[in-house]
Every structure is written in structure tokens, then in C-alpha cells.
């Protein structure tokens, strides 16, 4: 799974950057086509949903998706050949 921010729906409120316990978001630096600065993924490999949702078959955290007023955050299946970075923390 990979985390995706839909730039067409996001209004740049940055609530996701504030609520994520894993700090995978950061405030964006470039405006999108509508002139809104959309948050960026800083370290998506730390997201438990991205790493473990397929293993457990359910959403494990989802704080960012729940807090997003525009429903601009979702998870998508990765292509089998897509490279994946994994972070192991103790």
C-alpha cells in the first residue's frame, strides 16, 4: 500500500501534518495548479498502514484520513514492480 494525497481535493489546511503520530507529512513547498500549497510526504515508509495493512487486512492508524476535511488522503495498491522503502524502528 502507498499513501496518496489527491492534490485536486486538498485545500492545504495541514491538519494531517499536525495529527500524524509517525510524522510522515511535512508542509509543502510548491503550489499546485490551483495555487494551494499541498502537504508533502516526508517519510511514508514509517506509516503502519503502508507497511502492514495488507498483512493485517485492516486499517491500523488512519488518523490523517479521518482528520482530512476534504477526504484527499487515501491508500492505493502498489504495482508489483514498484520499489518500496521500509523503515525498521525499535
Q: Report the CATH number that the domain containing residue 54 is assigned in CATH.
A: 3.30.70.20
What domain range includes position 70? 2-76
Range picked from 5-14, 47-56, 79-88 for highest mean pLDDT: 5-14
Name the pTM for this structure.
0.76
Domain count, the chain: 1
Per the structure block, which three cell numbers stand in for 11? 485545500
The neighbouring-strand residues paired with 25 are 41
* CA–CA distance, 63 with 77 (Å, rounded to integer): 19
Query: Would you say residue 85 lies in a domain?
Result: no
* CA–CA distance, 5 with 61 (Å, rounded to integer): 16
User: What confidence tens digit (pLDDT) does each residue in 1-23 have?
Assistant: 788 999 999 999 999 999 998 88
Q: SS3 for 56?
A: helix
Amino acid at each position: 500500500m502507498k499513501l496518496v494525497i489527491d492534490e485536486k481535493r486538498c485545500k492545504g489546511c495541514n491538519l494531517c501534518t499536525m495529527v500524524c503520530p509517525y510524522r510522515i507529512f511535512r508542509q509543502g513547498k510548491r503550489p499546485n495548479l490551483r495555487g494551494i500549497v499541498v502537504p508533502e510526504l516526508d517519510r511514508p515508509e514509517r506509516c503502519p498502514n503502508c507497511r502492514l495493512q495488507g498483512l493485517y487486512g485492516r486499517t491500523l492508524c488512519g488518523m490523517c484520513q479521518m482528520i482530512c476535511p476534504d477526504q484527499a488522503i487515501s491508500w492505493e495498491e502498489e504495482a508489483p514492480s514498484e520499489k518500496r522503502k521500509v523503515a525498521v524502528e525499535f
